[in-house]
Chains A and B, each alone.
Chain A
Amino acid sequence: MPKPKPKPKKISEPDRSFVPFELPDRIDMNYRYSFGGISPFFRALKEEGKILGARCARCKKTYLPPRIHCSQCYRPTKWVPLGTEGTVKTCTTVYYATSRFFSKTPFVCAYIQVDGADTLLLQNIILDDVTQARPGMRVRAVFKPERKGEISDFYFVPV
């Protein structure tokens, strides 16, 4: 079966004189994405400018982002309206972003505990000075006037 060990071979350095044949290309895909059981969250966000949480009565836990089943006890949750204020738990300022957000830097991403929720929601905080976002900061939600039913339909500002 096994043969004697050959001398270790060096993997060659890249050939600097190599001229690749390159073509521009892209992968494209369209969707009609259904939000399934959490559709009411996005409908309330779009149509009423409201944040809904999902409450498990047994575990006394309110999920935001919402989910229609409690991941602890597997029972269905119930929709509950949440407040529009919250507390920043941790945050960062993004200075270098993906292609899609490249021209939008710098911006703040934060995990916020919205009043009434037990989990944390990722959101943007809009500030005059992006270096001033801090854990512990109180923030309130601002809903964009034109809403599509996306999580980016709202953002937070300092109270």
Chain B
Amino acid sequence: MSKKVAILGYGTTPFRARWVDKTYYELAFAAAKAALDDAGLAHQEIESAVYGIYNELFERQFMPDVYVHDYLGLGLKPSLRVTAGGATGGAAIHTGFAQIASGLYDIVLVLGVEKCSDCYNPELKSSTPEVLKGIIYSADMTFEAPLGLTPAASYALPTVAHMEKYGSPTEVQMAKVSVKNHKNAFNNPFAQRPERITIDDVLNSKKICHPFKFYDNCLYSEGASALVLVSEKMAKKLKRPLGWITGLGASTDMAFTGNRPDYSEFGSSIEAGKAAYRMAKIKNPVKALDFAEMHDAFTSAEIMSYEAFGFCKPGDGGRLIDEGVTEMEGSLPVNPSGGLIGCGHAVGATGVMQVGEAFLQVTGQAGKRQVKGARKGLVQSIGGPATSWTFAFIVEG
């Protein structure tokens, strides 16, 4: 029988384009300290650590987790690094959850961290193309990377297929997601890029990869986020706000998009969503959920994810943003944090930040971005070529 898993504490650094004054292990330290302070625990009380770190090239270090573990003073305690592309943070929480649910440990630190802006191309005098180069080593090196694939193209290809099949999302609907998430970020003190922009600003921004313009893309970020997960036995001893991970689902789709039976949808999100809902006994997600933190790597991904997670029928996701359902004032706010577009995408940290945000929501600690009466939320963490991995979580107060 699987044991219940609670979230006892959460801490994060702000997400920023570059933390010039911190290395990856110094960022990790800041998040770990904040999470431990929030949990009221000393680092010596941690029984096991799970690290979510995506890309060795970003950190300029292979096996970066052992250096984080050393810096956190956790020597001789068990540790494990998890890496799953953009879903690295979600994968780390999935692993930490399993360690507690199995009864192996009672107190687990799950920490996600990522640098990236130390990557720099001296000829182009820019970080971005070099960061993208570092990511594309994750695309298939034989058949796909040599053709100039980019992370945006990897999402644009299923998006175009989806538009072809359903006539949506339209570029205007996509722009509305960007406007919403940039706006929501104003309420999040940890967000990298709150901005007041209009639909026209999005539509007229620089073309990146059809149909994505500049403002359709998430940010790339540096930062660290940490959660302290505990068993029910441990949670009961403590009188402090608790979140519970009551549902969890995971699915990994074919890495070659062209191998999928339907390349116009996020199959792994559909499967992970079903599993998480089943575990949390959710029959009607629209009624049951008070909010969702979704992986808006690109604006279309958020809309296609509404469909994958059953907020509406396939092809109808654009309507939800048109009708304002997923706005802060709507009946099912999506990305109160600002999401990856407004708060940022510090890859290994992102999924941890999303679940941390859900924890803040269900414990009434989300400040200006608090969804009134939030008791139950969904978190989606996705990664890999055109969403290979999905980790989904239901977080309850």
With A and B bound together, what is the CA distance between A11 and B31 in angstroms?
A: 9
> Which of A25, A93, A97 counts the most chain B CB atoms within 10 A?
A97
Chain A contact-residue range equals 35 or more
| Chief secondary structure at chain B's binding surface | mixed
Contact of A98 among B14, B37, B122, B148 (CB under 8 A): B148
Q: A5-B240, A11-B14, A151-B143 are in contact. Are A98 and B132 (CB under 8 A)?
A: yes
Residues of B within 8 A of A65 (CB): 140, 142-143, 256, 258
Residues of A within 8 A of B146 (CB): 150-152
Total interface residues on B, CB under 8 Å, equals: 64
Residues of B within 8 A of A1 (CB): 41, 45, 237
With A and B bound together, what is the CA distance between A94 and B155 in angstroms?
A: 12
Contact, CB under 8 Å: B156 / A92:
yes
Q: Write the A1-23 contact mask toward B (1 if CB under 8 angstroms, else 0).
A: 11111101101011100101000
Residues of B within 8 A of A121 (CB): 143, 258
With A and B bound together, what is the CA distance between A121 and B45 in angstroms?
A: 51
Contact of A90 among B45, B121, B133, B263 (CB under 8 A): B263
Residues of B within 8 A of A4 (CB): 40
Contact, CB under 8 Å: A11 / B13:
yes
Q: Is B75 an interface residue (CB 8 A)?
A: no
Q: Is B76 an interface residue (CB 8 A)?
A: no
Contact, CB under 8 Å: A119 / B147:
no
- Which residues from 82 to 117 on chain A have a C-beta closer than 8 Å to any C-beta of chain B? 89-102, 104, 106-107, 109-111
Nearest-Cβ distance from residue B46 to partner chain A, whole angstroms: 12
Contact, CB under 8 Å: A96 / B152:
yes
Contact of A2 among B19, B41, B57 (CB under 8 A): B41
Q: Is B172 an interface residue (CB 8 A)?
A: no
Q: Is B34 an interface residue (CB 8 A)?
A: yes
Chain B, residue nearest A131 (CB): B210
Contact, CB under 8 Å: B263 / A9:
no
Q: Is B319 an interface residue (CB 8 A)?
A: no
Residues of A within 8 A of B13 (CB): 11
30 contacts between A and B (CB under 8 A): A1-B41, A2-B41, A6-B37, A9-B34, A11-B13, A14-B19, A15-B21, A18-B20, A18-B21, A24-B120, A35-B142, A63-B259, A65-B143, A90-B161, A90-B164, A90-B264, A92-B210, A96-B150, A96-B207, A98-B133, A99-B123, A99-B130, A102-B129, A111-B257, A119-B258, A121-B143, A122-B147, A123-B147, A124-B148, A135-B161
Q: Which residues of A contact B (CB under 8 A)?
A: 1-6, 8-9, 11, 13-15, 18, 20, 24-25, 27, 35, 38, 63, 65, 71, 89-102, 104, 106-107, 109-111, 119-124, 131, 135, 150-152
